[in-house]
A and B are shown apart, each in its own frame.
Chain A
Amino acid sequence: MASVVGIFSHSSLSVPLKDKKLLEVKLGELPSWILMRDFSPSGIVGAFRRGYYRYYNKYINVKKGSIAGITMVLACYVVFNYTFSYKELKHERRRKYH
């Protein structure tokens, strides 16, 4: 997945758009890159699996995993629940007149 470097930096010899990672895609190519992604059910499931294993292998599946690995997950869980109950929580702020 590496882009071709060196004296052959002409665009006709570079990596096809489909294989580029997100940070290597130029801004003008972004819509076509998004449309080329695999949005079938197995593609979406694959994306979730890759994301899960990426987090797992970086923070938890290490020799001396610390408590931060699971604390980050719980913090995201808290934020997730807060956003989805914001509508009811709006009324609980400290105000003089509700």
Chain B
Amino acid sequence: MNQNLFTSFNVPVILGIPLVVLIILFPITLIMPSNKLINNRLSSLQQWLVQLTLKQMMMVHTNKGRTWSLMLLALISFIALNNLLGLTPYAFTPTTQLSMNLGMAIPLWAATVFMGLRFKTKASLAHFLPQGTPVPLIPMLIIIETISLFIQPMALAVRLTANITAGHLLMHLLGDTALTLMSIYMSSSTITIIIIILLITLELGVALIQAYVFTLLVSLYLHDNS
């Protein structure tokens, strides 16, 4: 039994040296760009996935928004790889730390807002007031839209953190349950193990989906403002 259920979310530090830097840099070693036309299997697979996601994501944007392609692609692959690697045993997932997710969400959101305010000032300010609202409601609606604008980066960061943390925590709890039940009731232990297997498949899905959602929302904010 853990002394504390949250010890797996401690940032790994060895002798004061932050090991977490190595863990965040590890996914880079898995991606190897190449100059050839026909690559080895791993590179071809990565290339195919990149083309698929890029086409899907950047179709809706104008030419100005498409300058963000590299950024959004790097974002989705970073989040997806980190989430997937965190599902391996004993691994530390950097995206469970709110600090990192805030560090990703706030600059990207702020960049879209400033871009909108600078290049299309009237249109981006017009987003605050939906069409056809009754005149007496206008002041209240402006306040509500401003609050919803400022909540966007918080929501982005907290959504990612909470989803990944909750999934990991649930797996830890069910694993402990299955282990202790094994000596008492074998049948409920097997049921718990089946639940854990289902949860692992769910987690694989969630890892990818969260990356997608994060990136999609950033691209949506970009579309509004470009």
The complex places the Cα of A62 from the Cα of B14 at a distance, in Å, of 37
Interface range on chain A: under 10, 10 to 19, 20 to 34, or 35 or more?
Answer: 20 to 34
Chain B at the A interface: mostly helix, strand, loop or mixed? loop
The answer to whether B32 and A56 touch across the interface, beta carbons within 8 angstroms, is yes
B90 at the A interface (CB under 8 A): yes
The complex places the Cα of A76 from the Cα of B90 at a distance, in Å, of 12
B40-95 residues at the A interface, CB under 8 angstroms: 40-42, 85, 88-92
The answer to whether A63 and B85 touch across the interface, beta carbons within 8 angstroms, is no
The complex places the Cα of A98 from the Cα of B42 at a distance, in Å, of 46
Task: Give the number of residues in B that approach A within 8 Å (Cβ atoms).
Answer: 23
B2-47 residues at the A interface, CB under 8 angstroms: 2-3, 7-8, 10, 12, 14, 19, 26, 29-30, 32, 40-42
Measured CB to CB, the closest approach of chain B to A50, in angstroms, equals 14
Measured CB to CB, the closest approach of chain A to B214, in angstroms, equals 24
Pick the 6 closest A-B CB pairs, nearest first.
A81-B90, A65-B41, A82-B90, A61-B40, A88-B7, A81-B91
Chain B interface (Cβ < 8 Å from any Cβ of A)? 1-3, 7-8, 10, 12, 14, 19, 26, 29-30, 32, 40-42, 85, 88-92, 179
Chain A interface (Cβ < 8 Å from any Cβ of B)? 52, 56, 60-65, 69-70, 73-74, 77-78, 81-82, 84-85, 88-89, 91-92, 94, 98
